[in-house]
């Protein structure tokens, strides 16, 4: 693999993302809402800013749970299907490049663009709070930024998988929205309903919860903010029993698996199709 | 030097390319001739190494299916229609130059020679079809690719742009580039090709000089413009009567004996298909 090729194509992908109206809308919404949330928290707490970062972080978790997966899924779903539909992928493949280089460059370019939008949102809200109420709780904020980037990249990876099996961009986008709804709403409410009907044990409930990257992010964030999972009730205690002091590592590794596995499957699927 | 030995490309039970063998000497220009579905584009993809194949292909001794990157480094590719990247012309030149380890200034200079120097800051989407194909040719020449593969490069161009592009290709051939191209137009084959490889349903049914390719010399392409809703049944009717016919938008492209050009028109008129216009594309 040639890094110069990956860099050239990755830069093009980032430039494309910055011109993509979807990306601009998501990034803009994320930055504006993050700052608005920070201001809201400061105002509600007064200028003393008690636990300013912690409260802002808690608010941001809920914002992120909606916006970051939507951003990753839809941008990822468009990425490959659109290139194939426009004929640009076929043209690139006629150049002295390998499919792995094109595939990775597209992912990395988009990943950097999304990560930059997230970091900008968090950084601006951090600066806002810092300027108005002091710099307490910064570690939490940095941790949450990292977690959010991981969640967005997991969603991007799932979006790539959707894109790899879709012939048309519109189909890929449709599937991405359905998957987003499933992860955000059905994943949460459905799991609660299933737990009640099937009388799941706390262990089974926690096991199923960990299959959803959004829930992974939620649990990791709660652990980051509270340093315990008591808030989750018996399931939280099960998680504590299972993973002990390595909860952060396990949750982080599971989120990374959500990035690596769909991406590997998408690559395998696309590489086969491209050789047809 | 390009060599193909018993090249076959299967899609399930169907053979898009079936046991094709021929070679192309350095500096030679070869036309791949045949109707739609004859296997011309698939054969170009085999040469690029972007699709699997059986048999053996070498481009300057390199097998595209084993070392696609090295093979494609020697090959410049011009598609039927240059896809639109969301980039300006100069950004596109820089991107492809980086992929081909070439100097972008070489591409800029080539664009100037092609009369496209003023388009550098324009987006690709704003270029006309002819300009886009000239850009595609510029990009194909980056890194001094010695072999040019062109997939019906003039198919979607107006007459003037067709003539300009063919003139450029003739000049490139005179400078020693090896050219493999597909075309539906006999005038292009006559202007550019040294030899013609005729494909039919994936099989190579003839290799010869342009003059020797008698089947082509006796035929012309008749473009018949029809009402949009009648194109599909009209094409089917012509095929039923033994005419090699392809659909191109709202037109039927009919291969017909030079002495019997009126016959398809008469057939369509008798079957009450309204012919809005017709053109003899290539008079030999």
Least confident of A59-73, A152-166, B212-226: B212-226
Q: Which chain A positions have a beta carbon within 8 Å of B91's beta carbon? A: 12, 15
What tens digit of pLDDT does each residue of A92-148 get? 999 999 999 999 999 999 999 999 988 888 888 778 777 776 656 667 778 888 999
How confident is the model at residue A222, as a pLDDT?
A: 81
Task: Tell me if chain B has a CB within 8 Å of the CB of A9.
Answer: yes
Neighbours of A129 (CB within 10 A): 27
Interchain contact B77–A (C-beta under 8 A): yes
N-to-C CA span, chain A? 22
**Which of A66, A71, A68, A76 shows the shortest CA–CA distance to A188?**
A66
Confidence of residue A49 (pLDDT cuts 50, 70, 90): very low
Nearest chain A residue to B79 by CA: give it: A91
CA distance B159 to chain A (A): 25
Rounded to 5°, angle at Cα B106 from B154 and B68 = 65
> What CATH superfamily classification does B2-216 receive?
P-loop containing nucleotide triphosphate hydrolases (3.40.50.300)
Where is average pLDDT lowest: A9-23, A195-209, B105-119, B224-238?
Answer: A195-209
Q: Where in chain B is the domain with CATH 3.40.50.300?
A: 2-216
pLDDT band at A227 (very low <50, low <70, confident <90, very high): low
B266 touches chain A (CB under 8 A): no
Task: Give A86 to chain B, closest Cα distance, Å.
Answer: 6
A94 reaches B (C-beta below 8 A)? yes
Instruction: Give the Cα separation of A175 and A178 in Å (integer).
Output: 5
Residue A48's pLDDT is 47
Architecture of domain B218-280: 2-Layer Sandwich (3.30)
How far apart CA B27 and CA B16 sit, in angstroms, is 28
Q: Which A residues, 18 through 37, put their C-beta within 8 Å of a C-beta on chain B?
A: 19
B112-135 in b/e form (b: 16+ CB < 10 A) is eebebeebeeeebeebeebbbbbb
**CA distance, residue B98 to nearest chain A CA (Å):** 7
- At B173-200, the pLDDT tens digits run 998 899 999 987 777 888 899 999 999 8
DSSP state of A3: H
The single-letter DSSP state of residue B123 is B
Please tell me whether residue B33 adopts helix, strand or coil conformation.
strand
pTM of the model: 0.80
Q: Do A87 and B79 touch (CB under 8 A)?
A: yes
Residues of B in contact with A93 (CB under 8 A): 48, 50
Q: pLDDT tens digit string along B51-63?
A: 999 999 999 999 9
B217/A contact by beta carbon, under 8 A? no
Inform me whether the C-beta atom of residue B23 falls under 8 Å from chain A C-beta atoms. no
Chain A partners within 8 Å of B11 (Cβ): 276
**Interchain contact B11–A (C-beta under 8 A):** yes
For chain B, state the CA radius of gyration. 20
B99 and A16: CB-CB below 8 Å?
Answer: no
pLDDT digits (tens, 9 = 90+) for A6-33: 999 999 999 888 888 888 888 888 888 8
Digit-coded pLDDT (tens) for B80-101: 889 999 999 999 999 999 999 9
Helices (H), A87-168: 88-93, 99-133, 138-164
A271 close to B (CB below 8 A): no
List the single range of A29-43, B33-47, B172-186, B269-283 with lowest mean pLDDT: A29-43
How many residues belong to chain B? 284
Q: Is some CB atom of chain B closer than 8 A to the CB atom of A85?
A: no
Residue A252 near residue A151, CB atoms below 8 Å? no
State the nearest Cα–Cα gap between B180 and chain A, in angstroms.
15
How high is the mean pLDDT of chain B? 89
ipTM of the complex: 0.79
Q: Does B85 touch chain A (CB under 8 A)?
A: yes
Q: Boundaries of CATH 3.30.70.240 in chain B?
A: 218-280
Return the C-alpha torsion angle B146, B152, B155, B161, nearest 10.
10
Residue B70 to residue A4, Cβ atoms within 8 A: no
Look at A17-21, A72-76, A171-175, B137-141 and tell me which has the smallest mean pLDDT.
A17-21
């Amino acid at each position: 693999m040639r890094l110069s090729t990956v860099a050239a194509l990755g830069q093009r992908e980032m430039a494309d993302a910055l011109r993509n109206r979807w990306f601009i809308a998501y990034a803009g919404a994320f930055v504006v809402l993050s700052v608005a949330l920070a201001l809201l928290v400061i105002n509600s707490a007064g200028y003393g800013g008690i636990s300013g970062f912690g409260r802002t972080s808690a608010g941001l978790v809920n914002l992120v749970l909606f916006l970051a997966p939507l951003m990753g899924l839809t941008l990822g779903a468009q990425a490959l299907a659109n290139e194939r539909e426009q004929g640009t992928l076929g043209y690139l493949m006629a150049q002295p490049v390998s499919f792995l280089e094109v595939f990775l460059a597209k992912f990395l370019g988009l990943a950097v663009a999304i990560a930059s939008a997230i970091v900008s949102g968090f950084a601006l809200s951090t600066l806002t709070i810092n300027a108005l109420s002091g710099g307490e709780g910064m570690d939490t904020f940095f941790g949450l930024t990292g977690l959010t980037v991981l969640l967005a990249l997991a969603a991007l990876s799932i979006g790539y998988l959707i894109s790899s099996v879709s012939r048309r961009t519109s189909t890929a986008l449709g599937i991405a929205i359905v998957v987003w709804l499933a992860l955000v709403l059905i994943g949460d409410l459905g799991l609660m309903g299933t737990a009640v009907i099937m009388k799941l044990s706390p262990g089974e409930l926690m096991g199923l919860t960990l299959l959803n990257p959004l829930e992974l992010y939620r649990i990791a964030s709660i652990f980051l903010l509270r340093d315990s999972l008591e808030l989750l009730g018996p399931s939280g205690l099960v998680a504590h029993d299972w993973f002990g002091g390595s909860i952060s590592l396990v949750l982080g590794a599971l989120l990374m698996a959500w990035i690596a596995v769909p991406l590997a499957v998408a690559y395998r699927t696309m590489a086969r199709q491209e050789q047809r | 030097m390009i060599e193909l030995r018993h090249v076959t490309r299967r899609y399930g039970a169907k053979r898009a390319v079936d046991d094709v063998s021929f070679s192309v000497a350095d500096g030679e220009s070869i036309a791949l001739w045949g109707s739609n579905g004859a296997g011309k584009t698939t054969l170009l993809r085999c040469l690029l190494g972007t699709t699997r194949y059986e048999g053996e292909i070498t481009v300057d001794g390199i097998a595209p299916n084993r070392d696609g990157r090295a093979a494609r480094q020697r090959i410049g590719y011009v598609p039927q229609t240059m896809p639109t990247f969301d980039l300006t012309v100069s950004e596109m030149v820089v991107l492809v130059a980086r992929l081909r380890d070439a100097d972008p200034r070489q591409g800029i200079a080539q664009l100037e020679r092609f009369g496209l120097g003023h388009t550098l800051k324009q987006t690709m989407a704003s270029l006309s079809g002819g300009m886009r194909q000239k850009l595609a040719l510029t990009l194909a020449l980056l890194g001094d690719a010695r072999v040019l593969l062109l997939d019906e490069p003039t198919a979607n161009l107006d007459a003037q742009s067709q003539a300009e592009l063919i003139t450029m290709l003739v000049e490139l051939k005179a400078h020693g580039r090896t050219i493999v191209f597909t075309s539906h137009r006999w005038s292009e084959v006559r202007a550019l090709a040294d030899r013609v490889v005729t494909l039919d349903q994936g099989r190579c049914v003839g290799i010869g000089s342009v003059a020797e390719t008698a089947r082509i010399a006796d035929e012309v392409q008749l473009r018949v413009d029809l009402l949009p809703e009648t194109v599909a049944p009209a094409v089917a009717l012509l095929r039923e009567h033994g005419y090699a016919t392809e659909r191109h938008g709202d037109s039927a492209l009919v291969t017909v004996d030079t002495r019997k050009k009126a016959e398809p028109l008469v057939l369509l008129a008798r079957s009450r298909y309204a012919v809005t216009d017709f053109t003899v594309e290539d008079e030999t």
